[in-house]
């Protein structure tokens, strides 16, 4: 990213201080930052602090004879690869939506021919006001990207949507927006990912589940999205944040997960990471089971639908690449290869869940099993494993 440049417009609002940390993150990543500070923004951060972190001069005056002579507002608006507005106030959003150009920031937004990313920050009532909603819809239709706002407590004492996204989140959105075609090999591709456990109820308080954390599946969904794929994530009952750029559908049972997967087709690739319960009770009890003198109740089990095998045999709607996962405790490669044949999928990614820290932990060590070969990958953090899998998928779909 050392050849990339961002034009950062800092609007007014208490959240403007986060623009300083955002600038630091961008410079640390090698991205050049050229700041425009609005008059309102200068009430919250100083040109000296912003310019020092940006290692560039701060522009703030549309009618500056010096600035217009050295770098006119037209050239300024087109000298970057991306225009970022953070914080994007209701005023700046309204000006941009209606093509107003009364100051340097709004003029630069109107004159630019580069992509624009806005990070809104304002009072919850202002964000939810119909005028702001219309303006945001207009800008989105024009191709402007948005990141945030977040929900939370605000400096004004109210609570709700309107908080500026955290600098790390805005930074990630900027890095994604700066990617070129070579960095997004899955652009235009659709991916389906399942993650987490399923839960099969026995009665209103008990059920059958497993220890899957969902971390590996969520990491794979995020890695595919970072490579440009349109990702649908079908998630079992886990408490993980939705990866950025991913559409999430929450389910509980195996049958719900299968229905959600079928509704998400067609897709170019399906990655079935979820640890789906093989069995369920034939009929869940409507009231809580009580201890009885005769001992525990007899439960009758039936097989759950086989999601991986069903999607692998979907016919014309079958993804071009179907990837299954196998969590094994012994003879990992043998069981993985048998599963590959039995399910009719293209790859099996297997791991030994008896290794400490794998099931529910942060690391993974996997085997990639195909019809032709087996690859053994060293133990690594799950996000690194996810990125390696995503790159493999991109190569296969190229």
**Joined tokens for residue 306:** 């086989």
One domain for residues 174 and 194: no
* 121 and 189 belong to one structural domain: no
Query: Residue 108 maps to which CATH number?
Result: 3.40.50.1950
Exactly one of 131, 137, 156, 187 is catalytic; which is it? 156
Q: Are residues 323 and 381 in the same domain?
A: yes
Identify whether residues 171 and 198 lie together within a single domain: no
Q: What is the pLDDT of residue 177?
A: 87
165 and 254 share one domain: no
**Are 89 and 11 spatial neighbours (Cβ–Cβ below 8 Å)?**
yes
Instruction: Count Cβ atoms below 10 Å from residue 384 Cβ, excluding itself.
Output: 16
CATH number for the domain including 342? 3.40.50.10300
User: Is 156 part of the annotated catalytic residue set?
Assistant: yes
The Cα angle at residue 187 between residues 184 and 190, in degrees rounded to 5 = 130
Is 278 within any annotated ligand binding site? yes
What pLDDT, on a 0 to 100 scale, did the predictor assign at position 73? 63
3-state DSSP of the chain: CCCCEEEEEECCCHHHHHHHHHHHHHHHCCCEEEEEECCCHHHCCCHHHHHHHHCCCCECCCCCHHHHHHCCHHHHHHCCCEEEEEEECHHHHHHHHHCCCCCHHHHHHHHCCCCEEEEECCCHHHHHCHHHHHHHHHHHHCCCEECCCEEEECCCCCEEEEECCCHHHHHHHHHHHCCCHHHCCCCCCEEEEEECECCEECCCCCEECCCCCCHHHHHHHHHHHHCCCEEEEEECCCCCCCCCCEEEEECCCHHHHHHHHHHHCCCCEEEECCECCCEEECCCCCCCCCCCCCCCCCCCEEECCCHHHHHHCCHHHCCCEEEEEEEECCCHHHHHHHHHHHHCCCEEEEEECCCCCCCCCCEECEEEECCCCEEECCCEEHHHHHHHHHHHHHHHHC
* Domain closes at, from 178, 208, 242: 178
Bridge partners (DSSP) of residue 37 are 10
* Residue 20 assigned as binding residue: no
pLDDT at 292: 83
What is the pLDDT, as a whole number, of residue 318? 94
* Residue 366 near residue 349, CB atoms below 8 Å: yes
Overall domain count for the chain: 2
pLDDT at 297: 84
Query: Is the domain of 174 the same as that of 189?
Result: no
Q: Tell me: is residue 325 an annotated ligand-binding position.
A: yes
Instruction: Say if residue 159 is in the same domain as residue 62.
Output: yes
Q: What is the pLDDT of residue 3?
A: 83
Please indicate if the annotation marks 308 as binding a ligand: yes
Task: For residue range 286-326, list pLDDT tens digits in order.
Answer: 989 888 888 888 899 999 999 999 999 978 889 999 999 99
Tokens of 15: 């959240």
Same domain flag for 89 and 231: no
- The structure tokens 């490669």 sit at 333
Per the structure, the complete domain to which residue 99 belongs is given by: 5-178
> Are residue 219 and residue 320 in the same domain, yes or no?
yes
Residue 293 annotated in ligand binding: no
Is 95 labelled a binding residue? no
CA distances to 194, 363, 392, 398 from 341, in Å: 20, 27, 21, 24
Tell me what pLDDT residue 196 has.
96
Size of the chain, expressed as the number of residues it contains: 398
Determine the pLDDT at residue 160. 81
Per-residue pLDDT of the chain (398 residues; tens, 9 = 90+): 568 999 999 999 899 999 999 999 999 999 999 999 999 999 999 999 999 999 999 998 877 655 555 556 678 888 899 999 999 999 999 999 999 988 999 999 998 999 999 999 999 999 999 999 999 999 999 989 999 898 887 777 778 888 999 999 999 889 988 887 777 899 889 999 999 999 999 999 999 999 899 999 999 999 999 898 999 999 999 999 998 889 999 999 999 999 999 999 999 999 999 999 999 999 899 989 888 888 888 899 999 999 999 999 978 889 999 999 998 888 889 999 999 999 999 999 998 887 766 676 788 889 999 999 999 998 999 999 999 999 999 999 98
CA distances from 194 to 176, 278, 344, 351, 366 (A): 23, 15, 17, 17, 18
Q: What is the pLDDT of residues 51-91, one digit of tens each?
A: 999 999 999 887 765 555 555 667 888 889 999 999 999 99
Cis peptide before 87 (omega within 30 of 0): yes
The 10 Å Cβ neighbour count of residue 154 is 20
How many C-beta atoms lie closer than 10 Å to residue 370's C-beta? 16
Residue 290 marked as a ligand binder = no
Of 140, 162, 178, which closes a domain? 178
Q: In this structure, are 379 and 247 located in the same domain?
A: yes
Residues 25 and 117 in one domain: yes
Q: What pLDDT is attached to residue 70?
A: 57
Pairing of the two strands 159-163 and 150-153: antiparallel
The answer to whether 93 is annotated as binding is: no
Enumerate residues 6+ apart whose C-beta is below 8 A from 208. Answer: 199, 200, 202, 277, 279, 280, 281
Domain end call among 178, 200, 223 = 178
* Rounded-to-integer distance, Cα 69 and Cα 239, Å: 55
Cα separation values, 42 from 38, 46, 239, Å: 6, 6, 40
114 labeled binding residue? no
Q: How far apart are the first and last CA of the chain?
A: 24
**Domain match, 19 and 101 both:** yes
Predicted local distance difference test score (pLDDT) of residue 68 = 57
Prediction pTM value: 0.69
User: For residue 242, what are the contacts with CB-CB under 8 A and spacing of at least 6?
Assistant: 233, 248
């Amino acid at each position: 990213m050392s050849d990339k440049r961002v034009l950062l417009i800092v609007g007014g609002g208490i959240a403007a201080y986060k623009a300083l940390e955002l600038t630091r993150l961008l410079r640390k990543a090698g991205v050049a930052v050229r700041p425009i500070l609005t008059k309102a923004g200068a009430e919250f951060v100083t040109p000296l602090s912003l310019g020092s972190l940006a290692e560039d001069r701060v522009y703030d005056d549309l009618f500056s004879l010096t600035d217009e002579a050295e770098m006119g507002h037209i050239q300024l608006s087109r000298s970057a690869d991306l225009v970022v507005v953070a914080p994007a106030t209701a005023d700046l959003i309204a000006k941009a939506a209606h093509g107003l150009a009364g100051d340097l920031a709004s003029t630069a937004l109107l004159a630019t021919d580069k992509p624009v990313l806005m990070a809104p920050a304002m009072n919850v009532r202002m964000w939810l006001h119909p005028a702001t909603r219309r303006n945001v819809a207009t800008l989105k239709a024009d191709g402007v990207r948005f990141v945030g706002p977040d929900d939370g407590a605000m400096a004004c004492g109210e609570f709700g949507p309107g908080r500026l996204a955290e600098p790390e989140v805005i930074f990630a959105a900027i890095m994604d927006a700066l990617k070129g075609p070579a960095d997004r090999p899955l652009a235009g591709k659709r991916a389906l990912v399942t993650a987490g456990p399923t839960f099969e109820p026995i009665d209103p308080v008990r059920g059958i589940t497993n220890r899957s954390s969902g971390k590996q599946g969520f990491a794979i969904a995020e890695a595919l999205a970072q490579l440009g794929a349109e990702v649908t994530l079908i998630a079992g009952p886990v408490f993980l944040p939705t990866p950025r750029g991913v559409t999430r559908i929450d389910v509980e049972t195996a049958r719900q997960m299968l229905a959600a997967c079928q509704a998400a087709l067609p897709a170019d690739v399906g990655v079935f990471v979820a640890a789906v319960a093989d069995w369920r009770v034939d009929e869940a009890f409507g009231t809580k089971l009580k201890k009885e003198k005769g001992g525990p109740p007899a439960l009758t089990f039936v097989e759950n639908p086989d999601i991986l095998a069903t999607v692998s045999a979907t016919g014309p709607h079958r993804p071009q690449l179907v990837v299954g996962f196998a969590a094994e405790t012994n003879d990992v490669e043998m069981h993985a290869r048998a599963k590959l044949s039995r399910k009719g999928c293209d790859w099996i990614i297997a791991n030994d869940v008896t290794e400490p820290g794998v099931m529910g932990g942060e690391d993974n060590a996997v085997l990639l099993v195909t019809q032709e070969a087996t690859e053994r990958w060293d133990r690594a953090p799950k996000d690194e494993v996810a990125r390696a899998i995503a790159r493999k998928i991109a190569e296969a779909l190229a």
